[in-house]
Structure 1
């Protein structure tokens, strides 16, 4: 793999005067899946929100593709190639599948490629193609997750910040989502920073893992090493 696409050093961030993250550092390279793991309250979601500009950092540096992101507005991060799929899937339930997906490409100037990206998402998710006129509230939980992912992919991101994609989903659907992420990485070079409570699933597709506890990095290594470290798993990962 080449050099870092995303480099985070000494990131401290939180809400108001109380920091949630303390001196967090991690690296994501092009075409790499990095899993962020830890118990509830470890700071995983806050990390993604800080990286996408939704939570202000008080210290540290975030560099994407060689550019310091300090002060960059959320909409400009999207244009740079960063897409954030939040926990809870973030689908606009009143809009149809097609309208939700088109939202992901509204900012793009290349309209022909935006239409091509939309078609590619329908190829990735045939069930969405069959339901393109359905409203978001008519979809199953798995279909809503696919829709949220698809909307992010219409923007052709280089880095996907993905928060708890398996939340509330059946194991079979979770497996499909994880397989899709691995396939996208291999075919398109998409980099993924994956926050996930389902540790086994996350480590099965990740190249590297970062373990958070109370907002601090307590372990950072290859996914296979973390998976085989029984003491670490018992102490921080619950299996």
Structure 2
């Protein structure tokens, strides 16, 4: 299967010392790829490198045949790429409704936007009840829903998510993971999921990638990783 996102030989970071080193990664269409690893392994830097937030010194990143090094960051959304960063996906001074509409601001299909907004409220019933609330009044789980919902308003074909379960109750985490599986299965969206919650990520992933010190040390199926005691103890701490 042809990869929707293909990363080859990526070396990237924020200064003279790279965080990522010669990294290869594929995210095929309609698949969830979970990126796991300890703190400092390079997971967040990977997402930032894909979206122009970290300096790439070598390597190639392509999506749908487009060389992302030649695409302006502001145009990534037009290629179908949506990034939901950790803890920074909500503009707290704006209402729920304003945050969601912001996700489709670049689109000119007003009728379709209204339909998508209705679908987001159907997916996230708590947001529908709080559509006039400012972001700072939402719970942690509701903010994660809002961040994902705003990304969906851009009609993505690839979603990059950074620790969507961070700080959430187990029941809310399970709901978020189930939603990501639904987006893959029902809407055909590819997902690159960075997570510390290994169990939750592996429960929905089609592929598991483990980073250590900026390198891919394991790339396998979730079932094989769950059964590999050596790899889990060495890189995931359990």
- The answer to whether TM tops 0.5 is yes
Counterpart check, 1:182 vs 2:181: yes
Task: Please list every run of at least 4 consecutive aligned residues from structure 1 whose deviation after the TM superposition is greater than 4 angstroms.
Answer: none
Offset from partner CA, 1:191-215 (integer Å, 9 cap, x none): 0000000001101100001100010
Q: What's 1:143 paired with?
A: 142
Counterpart check, 1:203 vs 2:202: yes
C-alpha displacement at 1:179, in angstroms?
0.5
C-alpha displacement at 1:89, in angstroms?
4.0
Separation in structure 2 between the aligned mates of residue 52 and residue 227 of structure 1, nearest angstrom: 30
Query: Which ranges of structure 1 fall in alignment gaps of 5 or more residues?
Result: none
C-alpha displacement at 1:171, in angstroms?
0.6
TM-score, scaled to structure 2:
0.98
Contact 1:89/1:144 (CA < 8 Å) preserved in 2? no
Q: What's 1:218 paired with?
A: 217
Q: What's 1:155 paired with?
A: 154
Separation in structure 2 between the aligned mates of residue 155 and residue 54 of structure 1, nearest angstrom: 20
Q: What's 2:24 paired with?
A: 25
Separation in structure 1 between the aligned mates of residue 205 and residue 226 of structure 2, nearest angstrom: 11
Q: What's 1:45 paired with?
A: 44
Partner SS for 1:23: strand
Query: Which ranges of structure 2 fall in alignment gaps of 5 or more residues?
Result: none
RMSD value, Cα = 0.8
Counterpart check, 1:102 vs 2:112: no
Contact 1:12/1:24 (CA < 8 Å) preserved in 2? yes
Partner SS for 1:84: strand
TM-score, scaled to structure 1:
0.98
Contact 1:89/1:165 (CA < 8 Å) preserved in 2? no
Count of aligned pairs between the two proteins: 238
Separation in structure 2 between the aligned mates of residue 7 and residue 147 of structure 1, nearest angstrom: 28
Q: What's 1:111 paired with?
A: 110
Partner SS for 1:101: helix
Partner SS for 1:144: helix
Separation in structure 2 between the aligned mates of residue 18 and residue 238 of structure 1, nearest angstrom: 26
